[in-house]
Each structure stands twice: as structure tokens, then as C-alpha cells.
Amino acid sequence: MLRGVARSASPQGYETPPAPELQRLMWTRKGSSGHMDEVQPRIYIGDMYAAKDKRLLQAHRITHVLNAAAGKFSVNTGPGFYRDTRITYHGVGALDMPSFDLRPFFYPAASFIKGALSSPAGKVFVHCAMGLSRSPTLVLAYLMIRENTTLPGAIKAVSANRNISPNAGFLEQLRGLDRELQRRGPSRSRALNGRT
């Protein structure tokens, strides 16, 4: 679990911050904007250039790739692209538009990331086209769902290592997830066991 960013056992005293406050958290960080950055131990966020560079992925010993921009008109990789590697692939056909509903993908993506990290040698690369909006949104959701982190805590943890900027719609969806998880409180971990 991330130090200093865990959800409190008691729901009192914490409220999901408004979007401008969360955006300020992202803007005040001095993260990187490389093709591929380790944002948490064994979790990397990056762009389409890193996703298509199999040698780079193998050099970092990536075992799993989560493409948050899957599809013919986005980043057209897939299981076939990685067939000559030992990389396990999962694709999410998300559009980087505030109106796109990314919420149905939060739990499946979190389960994929958790599965990748269940092996001591597992490393997951989560990417979209630029590594700024779609892929960070899915990593933030993972930290909230599986690591019991608040949304501000997740933003601080990720943006310390990479510049991120989920679009306004995704940020609102993450705020909704934060409120939902807060309402569940301590019993939410039991509920998660049924959602893999």
C-alpha cells in the first residue's frame, strides 16, 4: 500500500476534492514526460512509441501491456503484435474525449494490473497515445480500487513520477469512483473479492 495516501478507516473527515483542486495537484508536480516512466513499483505509464518498441519493453522486463487506446484508429497493437514476446496483452478501446465513459473499464483494468503484479517478476506497462489522459486514468483507478488509495493520494503518487492530465470527463469519473469507494468504507475490500 502507498504510504500516506491510504483511505482512512473512518469515512468521516474526508471528502473528494473538487476538480480544480485535483488539477492543481497534477500541475504542481515535477514528473517526467518520457516515452515510459515507472510511476509505482513495477507499474509503468507511457505512450504509443514505447508500446511499439518491443526491445524497449523487453529491456524493462515488461510482462503485461494494458493498451488504453486499443483499436484500428488509435494504437493498433494487440495480442498478435506481441506474439513473439512473452507479454500478456489487454486492450481497452477508449477515446480521449470527456464524453467517453471509461468507468466500465475501471474494474477490469484494475484486475489486469493486479494480476500482472501477482507474480514477483510481473511488470505492467499501461499506455495510450501520449500517456497523459487515458492510461493515467486507469492507473489512478487501480490505485484507488486495489490499493485503497484516495484520488488525491493516487494523483500525488503518480504525478511525482510522470506528468499526467486526465481529461475533464475522466477526472469527474474518477471523482465518482472516489466517492463510491468512500461510501463503501472498510467493507469494500470484501466487495472487491467478488469483482475480479
Q: Catalytic: which of 39, 75, 113, 128?
A: 128
Q: Are strands 36-40 and 43-46 parallel, antiparallel or unpaired?
A: antiparallel
In the residue annotation, 128 being an active-site residue is answered as yes
Cell numbers 500516506 correspond to what residue? 4
Cα–Cα distance for residue pair 131/134, rounded to 1 Å? 7
153-177 CB burial, b ≥16 within 10 A, e <16: bbbbbbbebbbbbbbebbbebbbeb
Yes or no: say if 110 and 179 are a contact pair by the CB < 8 Å rule: no
Give me the active site residues, please: 128
